[in-house]
A and B are shown apart, each in its own frame.
Chain A
Amino acid sequence: MIHYSTHNNPRTSWQVTRSVWSALFLREATARLMASRFAWFWMLVEPLAFVVLMVVIRDLFSRVSTTQNADFIPWLIVGITVFMLFRDGVTRSLGAIEANQGLFAYRQVKPIDPVLVRNMLEGLLKIIVFIILIAGSSLLDYDILPFNPIGAIFVWILVWLLGLGMGLVVSIGAAMVESFGRMVRIMMLPLFVLSGAMIPLQVMPHTIQPYLLYNPISHGIESLRLCFFEGYHAVSGIELLYLCYWTFASIAMGLALHVKFAIRLRAM
Chain B
Amino acid sequence: MIQLRNVYKRYHNHHGSEWVLRDINFTIPTGVSVGLVGGNGAGKSTLLRLIADMDAPDRGDISRNCRVSWPIGLSGGFQGSMTGRQNVKFVARIHGDENEIQRIVQYVEEFAEIGPAFDEPVKTYSSGMKSRLAFGLSLAFDFDVYLSDEATAVGDIAFKEKAKKAFKRRVGQAGLIMVSHSEGILKDLCQAGIWLQQGKARWYDDVYEAINDYRDSIGMKK
Contacts and interface: CB of A to CB of B under 8 A. Distances in A.
B141 A102 contact: no
Nearest to A4: B100
A180 interface: no
Contacts of A99: 79
Given A6-B143, A23-B90, A267-B54, A102 B79 contact: yes
B97 A20 contact: no
Contact of A107 (B70, B80, B93, B103): B70
A4 B140 contact: yes
A207 interface: no
Interface string A237-268: 00000000000000000000000000100110
A109 B79 contact: no
A37 interface: no
A267 B48 CA distance: 13
A67 interface: no
Interface size class of B (residues with CB under 8 A): 35 or more
Contact of A7 (B67, B93, B98): B67
B104 interface: yes
B96 A15 contact: yes
Given A104-B54, A107-B52, A108-B95, A4 B142 contact: yes
Main secondary structure of the interface of B (DSSP, over half): loop
Given A15-B96, A105-B71, A263-B55, A27 B82 contact: yes
Interface in B166-194: 166, 169
Contacts of B93: 19, 22-23, 26
B4 to A, nearest CB: 17
B141 A4 contact: yes
Interface in B122-145: 140-143
Interface string B94-124: 1111101001100100000000000000000
Interface in A81-113: 99-109
Contact of A6 (B49, B71, B82, B95): B95
Nearest to B55: A267
A99 B53 CA distance: 21
A19 B70 contact: no
A3 interface: yes
A11 B54 contact: no
B94 A108 contact: yes
A2 interface: yes
A177 interface: no
Given A4-B104, A31-B81, A105 B95 contact: no
A20 B100 contact: no
B76 A101 contact: yes
Contacts of A31: 81-82
Nearest to B93: A23
A132 to B, nearest CB: 28
Given A15-B96, A26-B93, A105-B76, A263 B56 contact: yes
Contact of A30 (B53, B56, B86): B86
14 contacts: A2-B103, A4-B97, A4-B142, A5-B142, A6-B141, A6-B142, A7-B95, A100-B79, A102-B80, A104-B76, A105-B76, A106-B70, A107-B54, A267-B55
